[in-house]
Amino acid sequence: MNTTDYDRIEAAIRYLARHRKRQPELAELAAHIGLSQSHLHRLFSRWAGVTPKRFLEFLTVQHAKKLLDSSEPVLAAAHGSGLSGPGRLHDHFVTVEAVTPGEYRSRGAGLTIHFGTGESPFGPVFVAWTERGVCRVGFVADGDVATEKEALHRAWGRASLERDESRATTLARSIFSAPFEAESRPLTVHVRGTNFQLAVWRALLRVPPGQVVTYGRVAEEVCSAKAARATGSAVGRNPIAFLIPCHRVIRAGGIAGNYAGGVTRKRCMLAWEASRQSIGGTEMGQAGGVP
Q: Which residues are catalytic?
A: 246
Q: Is 157 left (phi over 0), alpha (psi -120 to 50) or beta?
A: alpha
Helices 215-222 and 195-205: crossing angle in degrees, nearest 10, is: 120
The length of the chain is 291
Q: How far is CA 4 from CA 1, 8, 11, 43, 196, in A?
A: 8, 6, 11, 11, 29
Q: What is the DSSP string of 119-132?
A: EETTEEEEEEEETT
Question: Do 214 and 232 contact (CB within 8 A), yes or no?
Answer: no
Residues 252, 212: Cα–Cα separation, whole Å: 11
278 CB burial (10 A radius; 0-12, 13-18, 19+): exposed
Contacts of 11 (CB under 8 A, 6+ apart): 32, 33
Q: Does residue 133 sit in helix, strand or coil?
A: strand
Q: What's the DSSP call for residue 85?
A: S
- Cα angle 250, 254, 260 (rounded to 5 degrees) comes to 35
